[in-house]
Structure 1
Amino acid sequence: MTELAGFTRRAAETRLPTRYGDFTAIGYQDPACAIEHMALVYGDITARDPLTRVHSECLTGDVFASTRCECGDQLSAAMKAIVADGAGIVIYLQGHEGRGIGLLAKLKAMRLQEDGLDTVDANVALGLPVDSRDYQAAADILQDLGVPAIRLLSNNPHKVESLSQYGIRISEQVPLLIDVNDDNLPYLKAKRERLDHYLPQLDDIR
């Protein structure tokens, strides 16, 4: 069991065959708050800066395939991209549900969105942060894996800034763009207009 510079520590490791390819699953735990995270490693991640997805848990999108967000599709696309590239990492962070507000609060925020609020204002209306996620654990995991620099699969500038502040070098930000549908369009518009996400697929949509 390896203790890292922060609080996160390696706790388990096993082969994980998936529909995309065979990954090595490495489990990590933050004993200070009992949150568990997982890294999926594919191929030789030391040969060059590995393609990396730092993914916030999203039960509704990742498990139940909700079309109101892009999360499940992004996770699937990231795993496919990593396998196609020959090597890479998916870091799955628990405690990030709803940009850090938790599952039940996220469901309440989704209900407010049905009444016309966007994803930012819905959180504010509940008296909650717009985004309370922290990426210290992701940085710890990358350091444990011996990866000082990555090519980050993300549209989110905040994620780039946060990982950089924790000492991870982002050699390239690789967009992870998902098709727009009627359900996720308001969500994606709010992410671009309110949170500065890079979403060029919205350019031709009014």
Structure 2
Amino acid sequence: MDIKISQTANLPSYWGEFKVKVFKENFKEHMVIFKEPFGEILNTRIHSECITGDTFSSLKCDCGEQLHASLEYISKNGGMVIYLRQEGRNIGLLNKINAYALQDKGLDTIEANHQLGFKADERTYEIVDFILKHFGITKINLLTNNPDKLKSLKCVEIVRRIPIQIKPNKYNIKYLKTKKERMGHILDVV
């Protein structure tokens, strides 16, 4: 992997004061937002970019609310958010909006991705291993509901899974049910 790494800078935010560092992998710039001290076991959220949820507060998903809950948790308990530039489960923004249009016609997220020629989830997590090694992290508590993230990390021991349960709304209930029933996400809310 040919990775370029930025300097560390301060990032004061609504949730508290963090540090930030960027890891550039080809054309993707992944951001790591962290609060020290780390301790022996690092609280970690691996979050894939969702401009509609993270930036524009879309109610069609739970992404923005998961990101905000993670930042709040890490602000209080220390740790890091690894913000991966893998928009739309790594199909890109244009294809994600095309998938949204198919969902508006009744398809679920998996069916929409398949109709566009993609797998249900195109994300990969090798860069996460690189980032955790860079910081010297060997044990983490992973803030996730996604079983694929629990299986994908190779360089660390996952000591505990910390769930992030977001209350469903009328716009994302089908999305959350699909994540739970068809993708195996560990959700109690639907």
TM-score tier, shorter chain, comes to over 0.9
Q: Does structure 2 retain, via aligned residues, the 8 Å contact 1:13–1:25?
A: yes
The residue number in structure 1 matching 2:67 is 75
Kindly provide the amino acid, as one letter, of the partner of residue 69 in structure 2: A
Structure 2, gaps ≥5 residues long: none
Aligned match of 1:109 in 96, 99, 102? 99
Instruction: Report the TM-score, using the length of structure 2 for normalisation.
Output: 0.97
Residue 162, structure 1, aligned to residue 157, structure 2: no
Structure 1, gaps ≥5 residues long: 1-5
Q: Percent identity?
A: 41
Give deviations 1:18-60, integer Å, cap 9, x for gaps: 1111100011111xx2211111110211x22111101000000
Aligned match of 1:24 in 19, 22, 29? 19
Give deviations 1:92-125, integer Å, cap 9, x for gaps: 011x111111101000111111111100011001
Q: Does structure 1 retain, via aligned residues, the 8 Å contact 2:44–2:140?
A: yes
Aligned match of 2:80 in 84, 89, 114? 89
SS, match of residue 12 in structure 1: coil
Distance 1:194 1:74 in 2: 20
The residue number in structure 2 matching 1:11 is 6
Q: Does structure 1 retain, via aligned residues, the 8 Å contact 2:20–2:33?
A: yes
Aligned match of 1:59 in 48, 51, 73? 51
Q: Is the deviation greater in 64-73 or in 9-18?
A: 9-18
Instruction: Report the TM-score, using the length of structure 1 for normalisation.
Output: 0.89
Distance 1:135 1:159 in 2: 8
